[in-house]
Amino acid sequence: MIPRRFVRCNTLPAIACSRVLSATAIALSFVAGPVAAADAYPSKPIRVIVGFAPGGSADFTARTVGQALTEMFGQQVVVDNRAGASGMIGLNLAANAAPDGYTLAEATMTTHGIGPNLYKKMPYDPVKSFEPIALMVRVPLAMFAHASVGGTTLKDVVALIKANPQKYRYASAGNGSPPHLVAELFKLKAGVDLLHVPYKGTGAAVPDVVSGQINFMIDGPPPFLGHVKAGRLRALATANAKRLDSLPEVPTFTEQGYSGMEAGLWYGMLAPKGTPRAVVDRLNGAINQALKQPDVRQRFTAASIEVIGGSPQEFADYIQAELKRWGEVARAANIRIE
């Protein structure tokens, strides 16, 4: 009901008064609409599209956060794996979904850092097609070497590689994958010449690194930790601002004289462009709350995953910085995927 003190109908003809009241009611509905929508959200299940197969860190992150959101919202948060084309199939599906908060997408270092700099054509714009919600977690990377590689420190190993160009090989999870680009960044920083051997995923590469067919790999620690403990591999450096809890004795790249090597497999949440700001803010608050829950933090810590969190604007800025950074690396290393 519109208070009479705001609309003095007694001074207007009946028809004019009716029009004023109608216009005022419409205007107020636009003001109240987003707030009411946010208060009622969510009123049905939410789908989170993950552009990668089940079982990996992208899937694990989405399901861990999704389970916490399900409990908080009282509505099911369902993970929908749409793997293919380095995550682009799933992200394109999300970019074209209704901007109502009921279809979300998980952004990764691949989809919103590396990929846009490698492919000539993409079905979506990594910035213009989405509303950033929150950066959720990050998997710090580390450099591992087979035990047969000489030297005890990273600088020793760099000297060895420089003395034997094209002799040593490094593995990656595939052309254009984060381990590939981070290894190329290391090559640029250290001024070394290593041969790249791409595999179809980290799991396929690990056995050859462990057997010594491949000399080095930069990737997330979990698949390598047991082999480091057994003495088959050595951890040379961590690509992080501080030492990792899972490898406390291993110095960072920066500690060893190679600054600018901080890199991690990160995961954040997006919504289609045009999703109401009130809904984005509600999701951001819920995700940040979920990331603070002890059981959620424990699950991530056990998997060597760092909890991040933050505002939508902080995530937007992070995406822009990642696009710029990996674009520079891709151009310097002349990496393109047709």
Task: Return left, alpha or beta for 5; rule: phi > 0 is left, psi -120 to 50 is alpha, else beta.
Answer: alpha
Give the pLDDT confidence score for residue 12 in this predicted structure.
47
Fold of 46-138+264-333: D-Maltodextrin-Binding Protein; domain 2 (3.40.190)
Give the pLDDT confidence score for residue 25 in this predicted structure.
47
Q: Name which of 77, 140, 148 is nearest 106 in CA terms.
A: 77
3-class SS of residue 96: coil
Listed by start position, the domains of the chain span 46-138+264-333, 140-256
Do the two domains 46-138+264-333 and 140-256 of this chain adopt the same fold? yes
3-class SS of residue 195: strand
* Per-residue pLDDT tens digits for 192-239: 999 999 998 888 999 999 999 999 999 999 899 999 999 999 999 999
Flag whether pLDDT at 76 surpasses 60. Answer: yes
| Sequence-separated (6 or more) residues with CB below 8 Å from residue 297 | 291, 307
8-state DSSP, 307: E
What does the angle CA 47 – CA 50 – CA 52 come to, to the nearest 5 degrees?
155
Give the pLDDT confidence score for residue 15 in this predicted structure.
46
Which pLDDT band, with edges at 50, 70 and 90, does 38 fall under? low
Could you count the other beta carbons within 10 Å of the beta carbon of residue 225?
17
* Per-residue pLDDT tens digits for 246-279: 899 999 999 999 999 999 999 999 999 999 999 9
Query: Does the domain formed by 140-256 have CATH 2.60.40.10?
Result: no
Q: Which residues of 102-128 are buried (b: 16+ CB within 10 A; e: fewer)?
A: bbbbbbbbbbbbbbbbbbeebebebee
The answer to whether 86 and 115 are in contact (CB under 8 A) is yes
Q: 29 to each of 1, 195, 280, how far by Cα in Å?
A: 11, 63, 20
